Structure 1
Amino acid sequence: MGEFSGSEPLVGEIVGLRTFRVDDSGLLLPLYSGGVWYDGTNTATCSPPTGDHRRGPHRVPEAACECGFYAYGTREAAARNRHMRYVRAVVSCWGDVVAGTQGVRAEHARIDAIWLHPGAPSGLRRRIAGRYPSARFYADADAMLGEHPLSELSCYDRPRRVRPSSRIVAVLAFVLLLALGLVPVEQLRGTDPLWDLWIVVTAVVAAVTAWLVVGAHGAGHLAAAFVVGGLLAWLVAPLFGLSGWLLRLPLLRGLVVAAGGYLLTLRPHYFPVVRAPRERSFCGVGG
């Protein structure tokens, strides 16, 4: 069963939890598309990046597509999304609803309640409240969920908390991969165990990159393929000597951007705001 599809479609109102980007005009936007959520009822259509209109007309959502309005089914599933630290919204979903292990995709959705991080500027809060007068605003996220409990579906997983040791192991593995890509090719070829390790690791990373590219269905898959592809370029860079640093540039740039973005979030009263374009699409796309 998929994270947001796999079970039989449901009919009825399901309450879920999701997050949004916020632009400087106070509009709430999906994380991966440029559409806008209205106050009141929103109706999804099948459009990229969450839908594939080339499949021809079909009901929204459909188990074989990724269209529809997304909502997490549990607090644990929602906690995986880092943007939840800034914006949380309780949404009611109805019409055709497809459920998975992490949440649902729905044909219609409505924002019932909103919590914003304390760092959100007061002027922006007023603009958001003006855009969504029917939603109730909360200063406490737990109080919001206490008054708007999430629907409990049997298909939802209750994911275990990731242990700190697991994160440490993942970081160490990434650091070791970076170190392996810095070993000069003469030293790699001169040490049989090290050369064998390099071949195995490079082959595995290449296979994962190919799998991600072939199986790409949306922006998230392509982003993962780009990151793993950058790691692959880093690993093969020693074969090209000094010119191999050109292969390392994409991953280096990504690491610098990621580190800069993380440091930016550490500023007091930080709250991410998207610049509103002059023309905004108000169609009911999924996301």
Structure 2
Amino acid sequence: MGEFCGTEPLVGEILGLRTFRIDDSGTLLPLYSDGAWYDGVNTAVCSPPTGSHHRGPHRVPADDCECGFYAYGSVDAAVQNRQTRYVQAVVSCWGDVVAGTKGVRAAHARVDALWMSPAAPSWLRARVSTRYPSARLYADAGAMLAEHPLTELDCYERPRPRRVGPVVAAVVGIAALLGLGLLPFEMLQGSTALWTAWLLVTGAVAAGTGWLMVGTHGAGHFAAAFVMAGVLAWLLAPVFGITGWVLRVPLLRGIAVAVGGYLLALRPHYFPVVRAARERAFCGVRA
């Protein structure tokens, strides 16, 4: 959230880049909520999952809250989100605009232009075009950005090149963590190094799980808490012997779903389409 949060609100119209999910009715949806966007002007309100009602009424966006419409300030920042391979949209942001190092949060936003992957079915394109007549649909993302250049702000930082070392270290660390949860309890107790490592890792994960559960105030925090709880159950499984496999089921199921979803996305001509809900909450009030 800090990457979209600055010290002072900006006033004026700023062009940014963002992505959407699209349901089978042709409605544009944020990635983490079902608050659909209107054609034309959208006005932000503070509500979950990005905002919080506990602060009471306040100006949107607020520097100490996560509310507002989000947009990336550059293509390099936007493409770090995997969904941009399917959908990219140039949006105008105005009103109170809080700028950060990767993009902005705004009180008002409008979809000006939209690019959809060539894998998107023609019937979906037709429905999106009908639902958002004021947004121009492009067949080429480069052409869209050439005709709708993004606003460059001084606070934007250029993305740093990805380093392989930290990624490899993270993979090795996760593999080691999962390996500790697969070892028989007798083997863990029989080795001072393994026993110390298991106690330290299990204690750290337990503390992290407790901290997340106590401090949850958004959808992302709840998701992280559940993942950490699954990892904790995995680490505790050796204590219960054969019956400990029951504790490994949640994490195994999550891994299977994640891997399965990734493999499905590699299919030729794949394009994600969300099933439309019967009742849809909209992002804001048309102005």
In which range does the TM-score fall when normalised by the shorter chain? Answer: over 0.9
Query: Given the alignment of the two structures, is residue 80 of structure 1 paired with residue 92 of structure 2, yes or no?
Result: no
Contact 1:7 1:155 in 2 (8 A): no
Query: Given the alignment of the two structures, is residue 110 of structure 1 paired with residue 110 of structure 2, yes or no?
Result: yes
1:137-216 equivalent positions in 2, closer than 5 A = 137-216=137-216
Match in the other structure for 1:38: 38
Contact 2:42 2:283 in 1 (8 A): no
Match in the other structure for 1:16: 16
Q: CA deviation at 1:196?
A: 1.0
- Greater shift in the superposed pair: 208-217 or 122-131: 208-217
- Change over 3 Å in CA distance of 1:205–1:8 after alignment to 2: same
Structure 2 portions without partners, runs of 5+: none
Q: Distance in 2 between matches of 1:239 and 1:70?
A: 46
Q: Distance in 1 between matches of 2:23 and 2:142?
A: 25
Residue by residue over 1:264-285, the C-alpha shift from the partner in whole angstroms, topping out at 9 and shown as x without a partner, is 1111111111111222223518
SS in 2 for 1:38: coil
Give me the TM-score of the superposition, normalised by structure 1.
0.94
Query: Given the alignment of the two structures, is residue 223 of structure 1 paired with residue 231 of structure 2, yes or no?
Result: no
- Change over 3 Å in CA distance of 1:68–1:269 after alignment to 2: same
Query: Given the alignment of the two structures, is residue 100 of structure 1 paired with residue 100 of structure 2, yes or no?
Result: yes
- Change over 3 Å in CA distance of 1:220–1:13 after alignment to 2: same
Structure 1 portions without partners, runs of 5+: none
- Greater shift in the superposed pair: 118-127 or 78-87: 78-87
- Greater shift in the superposed pair: 1-10 or 244-253: 1-10
Contact 1:10 1:96 in 2 (8 A): yes
Query: Given the alignment of the two structures, is residue 249 of structure 1 paired with residue 244 of structure 2, yes or no?
Result: no
Q: What amino acid does structure 2 have at the position aligned with 1:25?
A: S
Match in the other structure for 1:5: 5
Residue by residue over 1:176-201, the C-alpha shift from the partner in whole angstroms, topping out at 9 and shown as x without a partner, is 21111101110001000111111222
Q: Distance in 2 between matches of 1:23 and 1:259?
A: 23
Q: What amino acid does structure 2 have at the position aligned with 1:94?
A: W
Q: CA deviation at 1:168?
A: 2.9
Q: What amino acid does structure 1 have at the position aligned with 2:14?
A: I
Q: What amino acid does structure 2 have at the position aligned with 1:150?
A: L
Q: Distance in 2 between matches of 1:174 and 1:50?
A: 29
Match in the other structure for 1:119: 119
Q: CA deviation at 1:51?
A: 1.2
Residue by residue over 1:215-247, the C-alpha shift from the partner in whole angstroms, topping out at 9 and shown as x without a partner, is 433212221222222112111211121221121
Match in the other structure for 1:258: 258
Query: CA-atom RMSD, angstroms?
Result: 1.7
Aligned residues: 285
Residue by residue over 1:28-86, the C-alpha shift from the partner in whole angstroms, topping out at 9 and shown as x without a partner, is 01111111111111111111111112321111111121111111112222122111111
Q: Distance in 2 between matches of 1:236 and 1:188?
A: 12
- Change over 3 Å in CA distance of 1:203–1:6 after alignment to 2: farther
Q: CA deviation at 1:165?
A: 4.0
- Greater shift in the superposed pair: 183-192 or 170-179: 170-179
Q: What amino acid does structure 2 have at the position aligned with 1:152?
A: E
